[in-house]
Structure 1
Amino acid sequence: MNISTTIMPENRCSSINELFDDHIQMLSRWHRAKYYHILCQKHSNLACFYDNDYFMCLCDIDRHANCFKFDYRPVDNSFGYNYCENDAQCYLDNITCPTSFSCACKECYFGTRCQFTTIGFGLSLDDILGYSIWSNVPFSKQSNAVKISTLLTTLIFIIAVLDFALSVITFQTKRSLEVGVGIYLLAASITSFIIIIIFGLKYLFLLLSQMAIITNNSFLLGNCICTDFFLKAFSSIGDWLTACVNFERVITILLGVKFNKARSKKIAKRLILGINLFTLTSFIHDPFHRHLLEDTEEQRTWCVIRYSSSVRIYASFVNIFHFILPFCLNFIATLAIIVLIAREKSKTRQEQTYRELLCNQFHQHKHRLLSSLVLVIVAILRLIISFASTCMKSVRNPWLFIGGYFISFIPPLLIFAIFVLLSEFYRKEFKDATVRIRKTIQNRFHLQ
């Protein structure tokens, strides 16, 4: 007997708990069975139903109930060896000599072996986009998600090159490097460019590996271990460096004429080294828990991460710590700058009220406030997408998570825009530097 049907919500087999009154549900199994035919006759669209205790019933064309024994409760028959990831239930086709298996994933996990998840903060591109890349299919025939992601990645890289070049031209000048702020900004510019380079390589290698163009396991393992580790670490380093910029400005206001530029430069160099060592060390657990997973069913090789429960808690804490704290410090420092300057000027300008002075300082230092506000707004968007959205249970609708992932690379692209274009001092430094570069080129190539 061959039975075929279409998987549709209205064809779902309902439980008798949804169909019978309470007094019928309380009857014994065989007494309940007497009423099964009534359900088929009463509900004309009912195709099937099941009794939690024993039976599965099909309503035939004459609206009679044909029932058979059916154990609806899934039983893990893997007997100790689980082919599935993340504590998913494993079902073998044959207990004695299995030739295939299937996995029942927990909530928010997906993949043929439940190897991916969208729970928590700090998602990987493999989790979000991996299944959208079709193996052994040319790029021209790939999904829209892949084509749009490739376009965005290319656009991000072009902007990053321009931002890096313009930022280095500005922050390498002698006046910019007189204090720690300039050193932090130069380091942030270099770090941001490194982030985008690693991201570009990450995307390229993921695309080529899932299209089955790169198949060397040693290369894939090295890429799996290193790329996400350095991407997370340098992204956090960039966040800390932008926070250091505003705290240096707060210290400058607090110390006033006592501010020591030489000492500021020395502290900045040491602090940059310390931030790099601290951040890299805090993420050092990541490479040791990354492995390659062979998906024999789809002929793919995946980069997966396997954490114990304690390491998972630590990893989540580290991701959130390196994200939230720098942005909070950055915003608080910006407000402190404005308030401190207003207080200082209120002592000398008695004719103006403190509120008027505060408003004046907001207007005068709006470039500093705007730079922090832009970063904080982007951070809030990432938080909302990461924690407020429902988890991705399949690969059919990855757009929200793709958007959240690409939004995380906006801050590294804004160094020149928010720290140079919004600042009168650095705009002047940029103009002077470009004039010097233009004169140098003209003299070297004898151009008029």
Structure 2
Amino acid sequence: MAFLVSGTLRVAAQVADAQDSLGRKGKYSVQGPRVALILSSPEVSASAVAVLEGVFQTLGLESCWRREASVRDFLEELTGFREQLVAHGGPLGCILVALVAPSGQLRQPQKLVRELSGCEALWGCPKVFFLLSSAPGADPEPGAFLTSLCELCGRCPHWSLLQLLTEVFFRTAEESSGVIYCPVLRSSLRGALCLGNVEPWQPEPEPSPSAQYDMSGDRAALLLAVIRDRPGAQHDVDALRGLCQALGFETTLRTDPTAQAFQEELVQFQERLDTRRSPVNCALVALMAHGGPQGQLLGADGQEVQPEALVQELSRCRALRGCPKIFLLQACRGRHRDAGMGPTALPWFWRWLWAAPTTPSHADVLQIYADVQGYVAYRDEKGSDFIQMLVEVLRAAPRRDLLELLTEVNRQVCELDVLGPDCDEHRKACLEIRSSLRHRLCLQLPSQC
């Protein structure tokens, strides 16, 4: 149930502009051919492949290829698939790729994802990756995830894919007896994506109250920010603290923590929540610091701390069992800089998705259980693109689903052309959203407006 956003600028006076942007938010068109590939290792059972084929058939995809190969040959198979897409010559609506192998064999899935992310034929096209594996020592089987996905694709073709996956995660966790198991999605999508044959601009259905997290109780936020030698970081702190207070979060702020203090503050935060008398419905943790090449955070003392360890610390909190936990990371995740790509060869794209003339090469990707990192997060004396845009969008529409709002944040961040301190050329930035949420999460109730 942890929720993690990582990424790389303006607040109250621009709420009206943000609301207008949300009103015309990007939605992907899938009017072009929708193509799927199932790539499985020889150990994968026929039943798992059959269920996957059933999912893609339910979605009405124009074509679905199936390849069987050893995991070490997956990259070569994807290269061949990419060449087929380039040879197709026309615009594509959507690409779905399922990679199925025994647990532990897909050790570097991001290399496989990257093989298609840079494909010229797929610029601006949503790319969906399902990375499926078995439990240790067991044959890969379809399980509750694929079964629920197949059923919902047929019954709710009008749902956005993120909305549909949230419901699948809920069903998967509910059907796991004794153990809370939930898949994880990672998204850099910049608009709503509906895979069914439904007009993408029609109004989305209103969810029932039972489909949302209960947010009627207390809320708590912990902001840990390294300010020293990070120009503009104080603006991020002020903007985020103001947002948390406006949304009713009891907020604790610590500046310039050492690497050890990052861990200690999370432990103390968890202990305070566990000893509260009143229930807590939601927790938010913001981690802002310099970052290392492997995604680690650097404390004010220059020492490293792994953000995954901080996420796990809060996941053990008894008071937050079954409650949403939001993690915001504003830090570099490597030294790569993205110059962007121009989808000028796709004139149909502009009619459906509001986007800038150039887009990041690693945008428009949705992965269910995968890995993406290695890029610079941009910040200047006014603050970071990510935090400032996040505050602006959430202030404009706090009653809307958080996943939907974060997708809109990513769209707006992707549209920015950033002049980095390292050169005179424009760069692009893109967010990564990780979610194992099992319900819609709206940070403000109607009665609070």
The normalised TM-score by structure 2 is 0.23
Larger Rg: 1
- Looking at secondary structure, tell me which structure has more strand per residue: 2
- Looking at secondary structure, tell me which structure has more helix per residue: 1
* Larger relative contact order, structure 1 or 2 (CA cutoff 8 Å, min sep 6): 2
